[in-house]
Copies of this chain bind each other. A is one copy, B any other.
Amino acid sequence: MWASDKNGPQHEPSGRRRRILRGLLYCTGDMAEFQKFMEKKPYLLQLVVWCLRGVARVILANNPASGALILGALLMTSPWVTLLGVLGLLTSTLTAIIIGQESKEVVGGLHGFNGMLVALLMGTFSSAGDWYWWLLLPACLAGATCTFLFSGLGPVLDRWDLPVSVFPFNTAILLYLCCTGPTNPYFPHHPSTPPGALQHSNATLNTLQVLQGVVLGVGQIYACGELWPSVLILAAVFLFSPLLCAHALLGSAAGTLAGLSVAVRSSCLYSGLSGFNGALGCMAVGGLFFTISWRTHLFSIACAFLSAYADIALSNLLGMMGVPACSWAATLTTTLMLLLTAQNLSAYRIPLGRVTTPENNLRTHSHWTGATTESTDV
């Protein structure tokens, strides 16, 4: 119903409130109408919209308004890191245009989000302080690398109708952090502490801070560890799809529970680091790549727990070498879930080419249900 309001025939109760509601509804979902409207606009303006979509793609949303909101949230946290992120976003999008990636993918922002994330993380991990201008160089390079990785991984994953998602980001940031290391004279960075590291004092947990960590878990998808920007990011997801927003919080909560169950460091719980992989896993399964139903809802919670536990394991493993696990866990778990052939779950799988908003997915499910197996089987 979220999207049908726009198209259905309806009598017009004139007035300002109505117009505001209309404007808001126009900004929801994947803004397909806006996409059509932009097609005739100048190239630079279009590029901006593609990039904004790229910003939102990080959190699985495909909506330029969400992207703008998120960009605002990041600016609130750290202007320097945001500048780096925008640079990475631009470099990877432009690289994609130059090497001739499919224009449909570029328009959808698919070639921006990896570059943005890697540059954001480079800024966050850097221990050289803000406005260390030399960092622009690796940020550009990493952004371009992400596009190459995206383009190269595409045909491999496409065999099983899988999305490339954030594999390029995870690979690029891991390579960058291994390349430089904490003591590098040019690009030093903070070493990563594994979540299972021993704590000095065994103080009791602060329930309020743990709850706050659940919200921060959504912000940590953008490496943002402050409360209000995280809330703003949640609002941006709500704009794209309320269902996805609910699953983001649910997944973050599941991740925090998983963290509690194996006694991770309390700072991990408080900062939301133990929640963001769960959030990503829960969102991907709960509505985006699977039609929502009570079955896929339960399935998305299972996926959130699995992502969270896998993240703790990988963080401990990679933490021994001083590098973070980023979102490897959620990416791998989601990829696994998309591969499932079990009838009771794969029946809800949405072919990659037809993925839109969870609300749209639900509406159009009946239309393509019969074609699912065919398109994934070829």
A interface with B by C-beta (< 8 Å): 96, 98-102, 141, 144-145, 148-149, 151-156, 159-160, 174-181, 183-187, 196, 198, 261-263, 302, 305-306, 309-310, 312-314, 316-317, 320-321, 323, 335-337, 339-345
Contact = CB atoms under 8 A, between A and B. Distances in A.
Contacts of A160: 155-156
B156 A100 contact: no
A99 B345 contact: yes
Given A179-B262, A309-B179, A344-B99, A152 B317 contact: no
Contacts of A98: 344
Given A141-B305, A152-B339, A179-B312, 18 more contacts: A99-B342, A99-B343, A99-B345, A100-B342, A141-B309, A148-B302, A151-B342, A152-B336, A152-B337, A155-B341, A159-B159, A174-B313, A177-B313, A178-B312, A178-B313, A179-B196, A179-B309, A184-B196
Identify whether the interface residues of A are mostly helix, strand, loop, or mixed.
helix
A309 B155 CA distance: 24
A221 to B, nearest CB: 21
B339 A155 contact: yes
Contacts of A337: 148, 152
Nearest to A308: B179
A305 B98 CA distance: 18
19 contacts: A98-B344, A99-B343, A100-B342, A101-B343, A102-B343, A148-B302, A149-B336, A151-B340, A152-B335, A152-B339, A155-B341, A175-B309, A175-B310, A175-B313, A177-B313, A179-B316, A183-B196, A186-B262, A187-B262
Contacts of A321: 317, 320
Contacts of A149: 336
A332 B323 CA distance: 21
B313 A179 contact: yes
A339 B153 contact: yes
B100 A345 contact: yes
Contact of A96 (B100, B175, B305, B342): B342
A156 B211 CA distance: 39
A263 B185 contact: yes
